[in-house]
Structure formats: C-alpha cells, structure tokens
Amino acid sequence: MVEQLKTLARMQLLDDQIGKFKHLQLELPKQLNNLIDAVDQAQVQLLESETHRSQIVKKIKSLELEIKQHNDQIKKYSGQLSEIKTNKEYKALNSEIAYLKTKISDIESIILELMDQEALFKQQVDKDKAVLEEAEKHKREKEGDLRRQIDALEKQIEETRSARNEMALTLPVNVIKHYGSLIKHKNNQAIAYNNAGACSGCGMVLRQQIRIELQLRKKIITCESCSRILLDYFDTLEQ
Ligand SMILES: [Zn+2]
C-alpha cells in the first residue's frame, strides 16, 4: 500500500509538470505574437512619421517653385518698366511688383515655419528608426528560441503523460479511474496532503479518525469534501 501511495504522489508530480507545459502552450505563443506585433507597430509608426516629413518637404518645394515664378514675373515686369510711356501705367506696374515682393516674403515665412516642422519630424523619424531597430533585434534574439520551445511542448507533454501512464499500470483500475477523473475535474489536482490537519486541496479540516488512518497508510483515503486522494506530507514526499 505504501508503494501505491508513493506512486500516486509521483503521478501527481508528473501531472503538475504537464499542467506547466500546458500553461506554456498558451503563454509562449502570446510572447511570440508580442515580439512580432512590436516590430509591426514600429514599422507603422516609422512609415507615418516618414510620410509626414515627406509631405512637408514636398510642400516646401512647391512653395519654392512659387517664389521662383513670382521672381520671374518681377523680372519680366522690371524689363517692361523702361518701355512704359504713361505715368499711370508705370505706377500700376510698380505696385504689381511690390505686391509680388510682399507675397514672396509671406511665402518665405511659411517656408521657415515648415522647415522647423520638418526638423521635428526628422527627429521623430530617427527616434522611430531606433525603436524599430530595437524591436527587430529583440525579435531576432528571441523568436527562434520561442518557436523551438513551442514546438517541443507537445512532445514533452506526450512523454510526461506516457511516463505517468506507465506508473499508473501498477495501481488497481478503480484507483486509476478515480485519479484520472480528479485530474480532469479538480483543476489538475488529484492528490491532496494533510496540511496541518486540513486538506491541502479544499482546506477542509480533517477528522481525527482520517488523520490517524493517513498515518497508518493501510488504505487509500479520500477527502470527504473534495474527494481528492489524501496523502500524508512527511510520509510521501520525502521518500
Ligand atoms: Zn479536500
């Protein structure tokens, strides 16, 4: 009987291990997705700030072209000034030239503002590039390892499970069935211990009679509350 109790304790340790593997099966793909998402997000962010920057550069170029057109016009008007006969026409052309010069100076102020903005976006682009580089580096370093771990889990679970099943072969069929049902329905925890007089599975205080029977180790005892198989801490874990 003692041997059976020890076997049950060992089986529970293996099922604990299987539980950890299963948890990793949920957790590791999330970590992998986070790595990939971080790179995707950094790429989107960089594209956004590069687009903003290039829009500003384009705007500056088109304003510079406008200035050039105004300057050409001024040159043309200045050439015409010498050919003008009346004072009225002369005045009209001069005021047209003055108007174009004011326009040029307005556009120049706008260009200066845009250049400030462009400088800010350039800083943002540099920052986003650094973030992307960091995310890619992180992904390069971790991705392969994570994928290997994920791929290995199924096999690890399979191996642990068959080791547990092998142990179970030495137990009576009704005990195996009870154990299996507890694993399934009691949160992967079939075995509970006498924890200072209470069931470690559900916390129920154990009757004196049960405690004595646990120490005697003559039969398999189950918790009257959660029906987990009860073992005595010192008897089972240390051997
Ligand atoms: Zn219990």
CA of 169 from ligand 1 middle (Å) equals: 25
Whether 238 shows a pLDDT value over 60: the answer reads no
| Angle, in degrees to the nearest 10, between helices 2-81 and 173-185 | 30
Spatial CA neighbour of 35 closest among 121, 150, 123: 150
Q: Report d(CA 39, CA 134) in Å as an integer.
A: 9
CA of 205 from ligand 1 middle (Å) equals: 8
Q: Report d(CA 136, CA 130) in Å as an integer.
A: 10
What are the tens digits of pLDDT across the range 119-177? 999 999 999 999 999 999 999 999 999 999 999 999 999 999 999 999 999 999 999 99
What are the tens digits of pLDDT across the range 160-219? 999 999 999 999 999 999 999 999 999 999 999 999 999 999 999 999 999 999 989 899
- Does residue 29 contact residue 37 with C-beta atoms inside 8 Å? no
Q: What's the predicted TM-score (pTM) here? A: 0.73
CA of 182 from ligand 1 middle (Å) equals: 11
Q: Report d(CA 209, CA 33) in Å as an integer.
A: 53
CA of 76 from ligand 1 middle (Å) equals: 100
**Structural domains of the chain, ranges and CATH numbers in brackets:** 17-168 (1.10.287.1490), 173-237 (no CATH)
CA of 198 from ligand 1 middle (Å) equals: 8
pLDDT range class, residue 239, cuts 50, 70, 90? very low
CA of 197 from ligand 1 middle (Å) equals: 11
Q: Report d(CA 83, CA 77) in Å as an integer.
A: 10
What are the tens digits of pLDDT across the range 88-122? 999 999 999 999 999 999 999 999 999 999 999 99
Between the CA of residue 50 and those of 1, 120, 121, 127, what are the distances in Å? 74, 11, 8, 11
Q: Report d(CA 51, CA 125) in Å as an integer.
A: 10
